[in-house]
Amino acid sequence: AMLGMVFKKIKETGLPFIVLGEGSDVLFTENFNGIVLINRLLGYEFAEDANFHFVKLQAGENFDHAIRTCLSRGIYGLENLALIPGTAGAAPVQNIGAYGSSFSDFCRYVEVLDLENNKLSRIKAEDCEFGYRTSIFKKHENIGKYIITAVELRIPKKWKPNLNYASLEGLSGAGAADIYQRISDIRKSKLPDPHVIGNAGSFFKNPTVDGDFYKKLVSEYENVPGYFTEGEGMVKLAAGWLIEKAGCKGLRMGNAGTYDKQSLIVVNHGGATPAEVVNAARHVRSQVLDKFGIELVPEVRIFGRDGECAL
């Protein structure tokens, strides 16, 4: 009820608004001319039946903390999503994922406040239109329509480790906590700590190409990282590899550039303006387009004065 009143008041102002969790995947290019709300809804609920654990997370809970809480309670399955920044409420928006696992693999429903009628409702996972780093909540017509208040996860009791990634080889027989630790260690070695070097993690999505394009790449380059997706004959390429081959590894433009250990990450070396970050990202995108004919799509959401905008 309180939340409904807050949004009624916001609507009356006529100003645009956005809701953030921890803002870890967002770039503001200038001062936003509207209202920014930070989701601080907290709390956990645990339930189970014969086959599944059900974990309900309020939207403001830190998602990695939730994974650790589940592990400590003997609930295994989320460990491949270790150390992804952000809140439970942000997880369905991007359909966060890593190391062969996605939020959508475990989502039962997303609870939302529908701002058209000020009522709480549940959107079942199958109606969330989950895809690679996307969902119904990212669609332009739905921005500002729903506020995510909670998510419920459905986690099988029969745990089966997901070790399909090359960097997880050698972990067969390992427990869920060991896998969580390994993935955390890998992420820390590849990703700069945003408290030390400003970044929003992977700046671009990994692009998908058809099998013929992939074969052509393999004939021209050694060790092309790519793996077949569910789409008929489609292959997902590593955007970081494309950026590196396009000559943008360790790129520096003003105070922004790409991270020297992982080209997919655009970093602020200290004192970078939003324009410098955007220019570095645009340069990377144009170099990859020139070299490979592939247009990289940002994973980071970019906001200008009046709301979300393109790179």
Active site residues: 133, 202, 299
What b/e string do you get for 156-188 counting C-beta neighbours within 10 Å, with b at 16 or more?
Answer: eeeeebebebeebeeeeebebeebbebbbebbe
Rg, Å, the chain Cα set:
20
Interacting residues of 23 by C-beta distance below 8 A, sequence separation 6+: none
Residues composing the chain:
311
Phi, psi of 262 (to 5 degrees): -155, 105
Helix (H) or strand (E) holding 291: helix 274-292
